[in-house]
Structures are given as structure tokens and as C-alpha cells.
Structure 1
Amino acid sequence: MEQGLNSDPNAPPGPIDKSRVYDVKPLRSLVPVFPNPPGMSSVSTPNPSPFVCVPPSGPFPAGVQPFYPFMVSKDSQPTPTGGVARNQTGFDSSIPAPVPLNSFRTPTPQANGESSRAKRASKTRGSASIVIEDDGYSDSHNQSDQYMSGFSMHAADADDASNSGKRTRGRPKRRAAGNGTGNGVGIVELESLADSIFTLFKVKEMDDFRRSSGDKDTTATVLLVYDLIRRRLTQLEEARDNAPGVARRPDLKASNLMMTKGVRTNNSKRIGHVPGVDVGDIFFFRMELCLVGLHAPSMAGIDYMSVKVTVNEEPVAVSIVASGGYDDDDGDDTNVLIYSGQGGVQRRDGQMFDQKLERGNLALEKSLHRGNEVRVARGIKDISNAPGKIYVYDGVYKIHESWAEKNKSGCNVFKYKLIRQPGQLEAFSLWKSIQQWRDGTSARPGLIIPDLTSGAETQPVALVNDVDGEKGPAHFSYIASLKYSQPFPASKQFSGCPCLGGCQPGDSSCPCIQKNDGLLPYSSTGVLLTTKPVIHECGQTCQSPPNCRNRISQAGVKFRLEVFKTKNRGWGLRSWDPIRSGSFICEYAGDIVKTTAGDFENANDDGYIFDAGRYYEPLGRVHDFNSSKKAPFPLVISAKNNGNVSRFMNHSCSANVFWQPVLRESNNGVCLHIAFFAMRHIPPMQELVYDYGIPAKADRGKKKCLCGSVKCRGYFY
């Protein structure tokens, strides 16, 4: 057998000590390495990979594995930024594990302790020079400052493992004790949580066709599953690790886990619209765009694929996200977008670089000449949660012109003029119109009354009819909340909580939190994190302030709603504002109806009845699998004479709103309220509807359903 150059030629034969590294000088020089492993799809690498030379000791590019004797132990392999990369095997974590196409890498935390929004770390796009996008919605007081494109780590390792990229800034690497997840939720527990939701919605049974090309139902299910995992993970992590300066990012952890499990749809790139995604749909997380296949990169603004041109391939753009990272010009014409190319960066040492005609820029140039459609998602500032963003799918555009110009820093940048294709539903233009209504620069067509609440709500509720000449619904008195003449009796008195600064997550001494199984039901942004048979909110005897996180449903309407005349279902309710999944919308206000037989029969005839004892599909209540499908009290509310905006919500067999019983206790007893929450993200001007459910005795009162849903049962009660 061959011997090393410095080995002893007279040594007796025997086994080789592989722990010994031979001084082989030729191997210490640069050697050629081809980074693309066999079989890698050209969709993910449109341009051929260059010939690369790397030191045999690493660091190694994606797809390249170190070889003996350069496989070093986990404590001795440096990362490119000076940290130590590790994985569960103990070897260099630069060896990539197989991951789905266009998956993502977890972020690098930056604990600023100031707010729940992360800072923008760069202002460039692309896979090499990238816009560091933060959608501002981690449901946490602390976020990371980066998204990364492509991942190779376990979801539960997101926070700790990504800290290695910051070691050069002098920040000590934070390690959480006990479970190895970094922020309180163990790997086993995280996967158990996800598996229970996967099983409930049968997402593991999705066939290859639904994964590669979905439909409306599949897309909605994927987004709902993601949202439920993310919200529950937020609640668990926040309760177990509420220390300041912790970057949690449950949004990235949830999507990471779903990617690794293959729970996604439309994972095959395509030109044009994506099945199951409608023009005007909104997203509060960049990772939602990835999970439904609308825009594959988790961070880069340009997504592209390769197409065959004779014997060669060339990149063409399939989608862009215009999120304001550059000087993109919306202008006054909402059908025109001036989009800046990717790349071009000013480094910390002051050096600046021109953009190059490569990657996404080249793909946009090719699409200009090919004339193919490009999907456009617009990032709009979320006024209610600054500096967060809402991503609006604005449909397909075509590139009509391109040029190069100097930016403010003096670098050459590429500009592309895109024009929206005709015949599509309103999306971004509708947002512009709503802003004009809000500012008073344009009149709302069909406006009858600016505020039918007469100031009872903090936000005005407009009354609008642009369908016919009807001037409004039958007379009723507007009340903002359900009024109790006498609460339900309680088994024992409740003295309330002593939380002068508001109930805080992880406070095991708070009696209100104890009643919620030790977890706060709402996030810091007011989003419902989990659903149960009953949520316990602070009551009259609690010392918590009105803005306490455990009083969300007591604050009244927060969205700018309008009551409008529908074409065939009377009056309905919708919002000028986008509504995030899990957000509180309103409660059902009215008069409590006695549950004696005669009174109940009369109440069912008024058309504005809410019966908390009805059966319903517990879609939103997936975390209590063994819970009853009924509210714990026989509460019946009539909103015929006295009520609020909830009386105008129509029935739908495919609801976007669900109701949740909420208890408020005091020394005098218990008051049960019915609160409505968004089941999914709801775009502006989309009607708010919920499933009326089925009464216990469903032998009368059946009505024809006109919801128009593909899942319409044909009737409702």
C-alpha cells in the first residue's frame, strides 16, 4: 500500500492510525473542487457553477464534503465568520443535509431589547448581496436582524446555532439550558406539536401533485397549519423564556419545520399565477410566500428559473417582491412599477459596487425580451404594527423597459419598468383608494352614514350601499358590548389578579394566567395564540390596566369596518383594514335571552340570534382535541333591538371568522362573552363571515345558503 512522504519505510506492517494526520504537502496546496453534486437541478442553479479552488481544510461550498484526513472534530472547525459550526454528529456542519428546493436558513439574532421589530441590516437584493427583510411579525418582543436564504439546520436550533455568524462582532454566544432549543421548547415537543396539527389536517397525506401544484383548499390548509404552529410556538416559548434580548423567531422555526416535513404546496416553479393564490391575497410573513410557492426565496427580491433555449438554458424571472428596500417608484399609476435590480452594496469600509447583469438582474433582462409574465408582490407598511410589512399579491406584470442609472451613492443600478396586465382584480390599487377615503381626499362611493355607531366605538363604522337605493337596515340601538343585568353564579369568588402593569407571560403567580393553564392567550400584538373551550380574561376585580394583554376583547373594535349592502344576502360586514389571522374583530353584543322554551322559540324568529350552544366545526380550536364542541353555558343573545357590528356578519360554509367564548370573573359571578377572531389573513374589503353552526335540535328553521363557497352545504340555520 502507499505510504505518506514522511512515514517510516521500515515500519512493521499493521493497521493505520487514522487519528494521525500525515504531513502531505501536495494536499496542503489548493485543489480543485466542483461544488455541484451530481443531479442538482438547474432550476435552483440557472447558471453553471464556476470552477472553484478551496483549501482542503475548508470552509467548503454548498454540496462539497470534506474528505479524510480533513474531517475534523466539532470543536476545531471554524466557520467563515470565526464561529464554530456544529451539528448533531459532532462533525463540521458545513456538510449540508439534503433540503427541499429553495428552503431557507435560520436568522442571526440581534438582541436589541427595544421592540419586537428587527433592524434592517442591508439594502441589497439577491443571493450574494441580499435585502435583509423583516416583516416585523414574530409575535415576540425580540427578533433577529436577518433572514437568510437556504437552510441546513433543525428548526429548534434556529436561535442558538445562528449566533455563530455574529461571533466576530464580540457578542457572546447564548446557550439555553436544558432542552437544546435555545428558547424553551424542546425538539421533541416542537415536533410533537407539529405532528398533532399535521394529523388533524391530514397534511401528511398530501400527494405529490398537491405538493407540486396545489389548489385553493390545499393552499389555505398549508397557511392555516403554519399559522397554528407559529402561534402556539410563540405562546410556549414566551412563557418559558421571557428574558429580554432573546431572538425567538417562531415564524422561521415553524416554516423550517414545515419545509423539512414537506408540508408545502406549489413547490414546482412556474410562470404566471400560482394555483390557490388569488390576486389581492395578503401575507404577513415572507415565509408564507415560500410555503405556497408564490415567491420561493425567503429573502431575495427576485425569483427566477431556467428555461431551455435550443441546447442551452437561460434564466427568466418568475416573481419579484417590491418591498421598498430600494428606490422602487410606485408613482401615481398603480398599474406601473419601476423596480430596481439586485446587488450593489456599500460596505462598512466605504467601498461601493455597481450592480452586475447576473442572477436576478439577468433573469429580468431575459424576461424583458421573452415577454413572459412576472408575479408581483408588493410590501406595504403596516401602520398598526410599524415597521412591519404586509405583502399583497398584485397579480402578473410584464417588463416593458430596462435601463441603468446612478443611485444616490453614485453606483450604477438597473431599473425595470413593469406594467400590470389588464383584466385582473383590484389589489394594490384598492389599498390606494382606501387610503384616499381615510384621508378624505376621495369620497367613499355609496356612503350613507360616516359612522353608524354615533361614537360608541373608537373607530367609525361606515354604512355603504352602492348596489341599490335602500337607505339602511331596520332601526336598532347601537351598543358596544353585551350588557349583563346579572352574571352567572360562580362556584367560588374570584378576587382578581394583582398585575398593576398588566399580566405578563411566564408569571406563574398570576391567577388569571393560572386559569388559562399557565399561558397567556394573547400575544404582545393582540393576536390569539391558542383556542380553548373558554378563555379567561381579566375581570372587574383584577388590578390590571385597560391595555393589559389579557383584556383584548374588552377594548372594542380596532379595525375600520363598514356595513355594506350585498347583492343577494342583505347587509354584510367588511373592513377597510387588512386583518391578521388570530386578530380580535368584535364581540357579539345584544340582549341576553332567557333559555326557557317560550322565550327561546321567540328569539329564534328575530333573525339576529346567536346561540352559543350550537354545534360547529372546531377549526380554530385544534389545540384542545378532546374538548367539547359546545360553550359551557347556555348563552343565547338577540341583537334585534340592541346590538353592534356583529349582527351584520353573514353565514358562510367557508368562513374566515370564528367565535370564541371568553369568561370574565369577579366577586359577583361570571360573565360570558362571545368574541370573534380572524381565522386567516383577511384582505381589505373582503366580507367577514362565520359559520352559524347547527342547533341541537336541527329539525326546523333550515334556510337556503347563498354563500357561493365551493364547500357550500346548500343550507344554514
Structure 2
Amino acid sequence: MLKYSFVLPAFVMVDCRVPCKSTTDELECLCRLEGVTSRDLGISKNNLTEYEVEYLCNYKKVVPTGKSKNGMTPPPQELYLVKWRGFPESNNTWEPRKNLRCVNLLSQFWEDLSLELRRQRRRSVPRRLDTTTVSHLVQRAKLRKRLKRWELDLTALNQQRGTGRIYVENRVDLEGPPRHFTYINDYKVGEGISLTEVALGCECADCLDEPVNGCCAGASQHRFAYNDQGQVRLRPGMPIYECNRRCRCGPECPNRVVQRGIRHALCIFRTDNGRGWGVRTMERIRKNTFVMEYVGEIITTDEAERRGHIYDKEGATYLFDLDYVDDEYTVDAAHYGNISHFVNHSCDPNLQVYNVFIDNLDERLPRIAFFATRSIKAGEELTFDYKMQIDPVDAESTKMDSNFNVTGLPGSPKKHIRVECKCGVESCRKYLF
């Protein structure tokens, strides 16, 4: 429920604060119609009556009547039906092209119109659009607005921990932001589960070049995970031990990579082959670079089994087994998660999973981090193998080499679900499980 402050007319000298169930768009329309300013909505006396194009609803060509001064018939005039920001649709007006300085909105309108006409197998733009086409254009414009608001919210939440911006794009259908999904940056601990915070930290002045007793990794009898560029140098299957909140080193310590969060600009996009949402990178990612964590709600395996039966009926699940030592806990990212919720499977993935320990050293509850298996180009989709197999490694990889291969997403292999794979690579196994 939102609360807004409204500055009422001068004869009512009060600052009115009331809970409100209306959307911000509805409130802005009411304010502008009633001539009321609002600090929270950004409406002041200076911009109260300003008209800004929110989106374009319709298009037509009109042939002017009469003759021009030279006796020639003037060319058809292009008109656009404009939805004005902060005003109800009843205030929409037809405007000539020369009055519109919204280049991006015009480009988006014609992109949507071209795609719709292509879907209808029409080769030319009619002088007047039919109601079905107009309805589609309005829905696309409203969808783009919802996605933009979601994009800003996701970026703000993500940057509470990392620096990467999140973009959202849907050029395929009218699917909007997922319902019943809350974006989080860290594990949400389920009922009856507790995380034990580490009691000690390292005493290093320089964890990479002058580690004391091997720094945090050495204290756990493992190797230091990163090079001086922050790239992981351990084989898949070996655990990563990062510095924690009790360590002397600062936030820029080279042994604090995963905990600094997402650093790259990523885009949640709608796939065009029935795989729902996907994620692609907006910039180049170097090989062995950290990309994101798999975040969700930590639950017991018994609860995961119960939820798994429900998810199977819905045709999707987001259960990731935490079985570094014992198969006791699972991460469920169905309703609570970060951008990894939208990452798709591939039989030839560009992301690899590592188990990471930072403030909690309970080996039953590792953090799940994705690192790039190779150099990833800007615009390339990010994927990982839902049925990963870790090859046996040297003796340092104590427990993980024998237990990690039972981890699966979505749907643990224990459920024996036969799901068709749509990754499209040459080495595709045809089925996820």
C-alpha cells in the first residue's frame, strides 16, 4: 500500500498523508485533472499542465481536401493518436508527425506495427489501422511501460549489492513481469534452518600476495581461489573459501569476488522458441569470471520433494540441491530469487557452478556461484547445464567430486522427469532428464 503527500489548494493549509490503493499512474491523472500538485509524483506548478507523450496508440493517413496554392493536391498527412503522460485516455489527441519530437517512441511504434503486420502477412501499411491491430499496439506500449518499471526496480535492488545494471526486453509476446516473484540478493532461510556465522577471520594485510597461513582458504585446507584479475583458478568441483566479515582485509580484497555481487550489465529477455524468459549479457565477460549467484529460499529436502510434485504439475521448477556433503537442503528460487531465476539450460553451457563459503562455513549450506567457462560475447545468452557432471579431480577435491553430480535444476534427477530440451546446440541430449 502506497502513501502519498499532496499539497492542497492554498485555502486548505494542511499536509495530507493517506494510504492509497491506486497506482501511481492513476494518481497522476487525478492530480493533473484536479490541478493538484504532488511532491511524491513529481508534479509541481511548473509542470502541472505540461504535455509529454507517453506512447502512441494509432496511426492514419489523411488526404487534405482542396488544392494547394500551386493547384496541386497536397500529399497525405500522417497523424498519430497520442496518449499523454499523466492524463487519462479520454484526453488522447491526433497529432501530425511534425509535432512529435519523441524519436524513440516513434521507432518503437513502427517496430511493433511492422511485426504485427508481418504476423498478419500484410505487405503494406494501410491508411487506417483496424481495431485488432490498434489493440495490439496499445497492449505492446503498456507492456513496454510495465517492463521498464520492472527493469528500474530490478536494477535498484541488484545494485544494493553489486554494480551491474539489469535490462528487460520482450519483443516476442505480451508476457509481463512474473507474478508472485520477489527479487532478493541473498538466501532466504526457511523455517527451522539456521546459518551459523563464522567465528574467525584472517589476519592478512594482503590476502593474495602475502596470505597469513594461506588466508581463509588455507585455514580450510584448500587453495586460494582467484588470480589478481578476480578469475577463478580452481577446477570445477573444488570449493571456494572467501574472506568474511571478521577478516582484517577490506571490501576490495581480491578474495572477495562472489560477495561483491553482479558486476556486469545483464538483460532478461523473452525467448522466441518457447523457453520463456532467458538472460543474456550486454557486455563481454572474460573466461573464469564470476557472473552471478543462484539465490533463493533454503528449504529441507523433504520440503523440496513436496514442492517438487506441485512444480511438476505446473511444468517448471527451480529446485537446486545443496549436496556438497549431505543431501539435506535445497534452494528454491521459484518465488524468491535473483536474475539466475531466468537463466536457461544448455547442453553446451557457458556457465559453471562452484560451491562458495563466506560467512557461513556449514558444508551442508554452500552458496552457489556461476563462473564463465569461456569468453562470452556481448549479446550472448547465458546458460548452464541443469544436469551437470563434474569429472573427478585431484585429492584436494575431497567430498564434492563424489556428491556434486546429483545436483540438478530444474527438478532434481531423483524425480525422473522426461523433459524435452530446446537448447538447440549440436551436442544437445534432446531431453533434460
- Sort the Cα spacing of 1:638 and 1:508 in 2 relative to 1 into closer, same or farther, 3 A: same
Kindly indicate whether the alpha-carbon contact (under 8 Å) linking 1:505 and 1:519 is maintained by their aligned counterparts in 2.
Answer: no
1:707 counterpart (405, 414, 423) = 423
2:351 counterpart (654, 657, 665) = 657
- Sort the Cα spacing of 1:555 and 1:473 in 2 relative to 1 into closer, same or farther, 3 A: same
Counterpart Cα distance in 1 of 2:345 and 2:361: 37
Kindly indicate whether the alpha-carbon contact (under 8 Å) linking 1:508 and 1:518 is maintained by their aligned counterparts in 2.
Answer: no
Alignment correspondent of 1:612:
321
Alignment correspondent of 2:270:
565
Alignment correspondent of 2:152:
451
Kindly indicate whether the alpha-carbon contact (under 8 Å) linking 1:498 and 1:510 is maintained by their aligned counterparts in 2.
Answer: no
- Secondary structure of the residue that 1:451 maps to in structure 2? helix
1:506-545 alignment runs, 5 A limit: 506-515=210-219, 517=221, 519-531=223-235, 532-545=237-250
How many angstroms does 1:512 deviate by? 0.6
- Sort the Cα spacing of 1:677 and 1:684 in 2 relative to 1 into closer, same or farther, 3 A: same
Alignment correspondent of 2:296:
590
- Secondary structure of the residue that 2:278 maps to in structure 1? strand
How many angstroms does 1:671 deviate by? 5.0
How many angstroms does 1:556 deviate by? 1.0
Any unmatched runs of 5+ in structure 2? 1-102, 113-143, 388-405
Counterpart Cα distance in 2 of 1:472 and 1:702: 28
Alignment correspondent of 2:342:
648
Counterpart Cα distance in 2 of 1:509 and 1:601: 44
Q: Deviations over 1:95-151 (max 9, x none)?
A: xxxxxxxxxxxxxxxxxxxxxxxxxxxxxxxxxxxxxxxxxxxxxxxxxxxxxxxxx
- Sort the Cα spacing of 1:442 and 1:631 in 2 relative to 1 into closer, same or farther, 3 A: farther
How many angstroms does 1:540 deviate by? 2.9
Counterpart Cα distance in 2 of 1:605 and 1:654: 29
Q: Deviations over 1:624-679 (max 9, x none)?
A: xxxxxx62343411111111000101111111111110012459998520000111
1:404-419 alignment runs, 5 A limit: none
Kindly indicate whether the alpha-carbon contact (under 8 Å) linking 1:593 and 1:600 is maintained by their aligned counterparts in 2.
Answer: no
1:505 counterpart (209, 212, 226) = 209
Kindly indicate whether the alpha-carbon contact (under 8 Å) linking 2:188 and 2:336 is maintained by their aligned counterparts in 1.
Answer: no
Task: State the one-letter code of the partner of 2:350.
Answer: N
- Secondary structure of the residue that 2:380 maps to in structure 1? coil
Kindly indicate whether the alpha-carbon contact (under 8 Å) linking 1:487 and 1:668 is maintained by their aligned counterparts in 2.
Answer: no
Residue 377 of structure 2 corresponds to residue 683 of structure 1: yes
How many angstroms does 1:452 deviate by? 4.3
- Sort the Cα spacing of 1:576 and 1:668 in 2 relative to 1 into closer, same or farther, 3 A: closer
Residue 165 of structure 2 corresponds to residue 460 of structure 1: yes
Q: Deviations over 1:149-188 (max 9, x none)?
A: xxxxxxxxxxxxxxxxxxxxxxxxxxxxxxxxxxxxxxxx
- Sort the Cα spacing of 1:494 and 1:585 in 2 relative to 1 into closer, same or farther, 3 A: same
- Sort the Cα spacing of 1:644 and 1:510 in 2 relative to 1 into closer, same or farther, 3 A: same
Task: State the one-letter code of the partner of 1:525.
Answer: Q
Counterpart Cα distance in 1 of 2:418 and 2:230: 36
Alignment correspondent of 1:122:
none
Kindly indicate whether the alpha-carbon contact (under 8 Å) linking 1:452 and 1:460 is maintained by their aligned counterparts in 2.
Answer: no
Query: Greater helix share, 1 or 2?
Result: 2
Counterpart Cα distance in 2 of 1:648 and 1:667: 28
- Secondary structure of the residue that 1:577 maps to in structure 2? coil
Counterpart Cα distance in 1 of 2:371 and 2:270: 22
Alignment correspondent of 1:472:
177
Kindly indicate whether the alpha-carbon contact (under 8 Å) linking 1:590 and 1:643 is maintained by their aligned counterparts in 2.
Answer: yes
Residue 366 of structure 2 corresponds to residue 672 of structure 1: yes
Kindly indicate whether the alpha-carbon contact (under 8 Å) linking 1:452 and 1:461 is maintained by their aligned counterparts in 2.
Answer: no
- Sort the Cα spacing of 1:518 and 1:714 in 2 relative to 1 into closer, same or farther, 3 A: closer
State, as a whole percentage, how many aligned pairs show the same letter. Answer: 28
How many angstroms does 1:484 deviate by? 3.9
- Sort the Cα spacing of 1:699 and 1:644 in 2 relative to 1 into closer, same or farther, 3 A: closer
How many angstroms does 1:483 deviate by? 3.4
- Secondary structure of the residue that 2:256 maps to in structure 1? helix
Task: State the one-letter code of the partner of 2:243.
Answer: C
Residue 284 of structure 2 corresponds to residue 578 of structure 1: yes
- Secondary structure of the residue that 2:213 maps to in structure 1? coil
TM-score by length of 2: 0.53
Alignment correspondent of 1:483:
188
Kindly indicate whether the alpha-carbon contact (under 8 Å) linking 2:350 and 2:372 is maintained by their aligned counterparts in 1.
Answer: yes
Q: Deviations over 1:339-398 (max 9, x none)?
A: xxxxxxxxxxxxxxxxxxxxxxxxxxxxxxxxxxxxxxxxxxxxxxxxxxxxxxxxxxxx
- Secondary structure of the residue that 1:513 maps to in structure 2? helix
Alignment correspondent of 1:300:
none
- Sort the Cα spacing of 1:604 and 1:526 in 2 relative to 1 into closer, same or farther, 3 A: farther
Counterpart Cα distance in 2 of 1:565 and 1:555: 28
How many angstroms does 1:455 deviate by? 0.7
Alignment correspondent of 2:331:
637
1:58-97 alignment runs, 5 A limit: none
Kindly indicate whether the alpha-carbon contact (under 8 Å) linking 2:196 and 2:361 is maintained by their aligned counterparts in 1.
Answer: no
- Sort the Cα spacing of 1:511 and 1:487 in 2 relative to 1 into closer, same or farther, 3 A: farther
How many angstroms does 1:570 deviate by? 0.3
Task: State the one-letter code of the partner of 1:640.
Answer: A
Kindly indicate whether the alpha-carbon contact (under 8 Å) linking 2:325 and 2:364 is maintained by their aligned counterparts in 1.
Answer: no
- Sort the Cα spacing of 1:503 and 1:684 in 2 relative to 1 into closer, same or farther, 3 A: same
Counterpart Cα distance in 2 of 1:480 and 1:703: 29
- Secondary structure of the residue that 1:524 maps to in structure 2? coil
How many angstroms does 1:608 deviate by? 4.0
- Sort the Cα spacing of 1:475 and 1:666 in 2 relative to 1 into closer, same or farther, 3 A: closer
Counterpart Cα distance in 1 of 2:271 and 2:155: 23
Task: State the one-letter code of the partner of 1:657.
Answer: L
Task: State the one-letter code of the partner of 1:673.
Answer: R
Counterpart Cα distance in 2 of 1:668 and 1:636: 14
Counterpart Cα distance in 2 of 1:582 and 1:480: 22
Cα RMSD over matched residues? 3.0
- Sort the Cα spacing of 1:591 and 1:716 in 2 relative to 1 into closer, same or farther, 3 A: same
Task: State the one-letter code of the partner of 2:278.
Answer: G
Counterpart Cα distance in 2 of 1:703 and 1:652: 13
Task: State the one-letter code of the partner of 1:712.
Answer: C
Higher relative contact order (CA 8 A, sep 6+): 2
Counterpart Cα distance in 2 of 1:516 and 1:583: 23
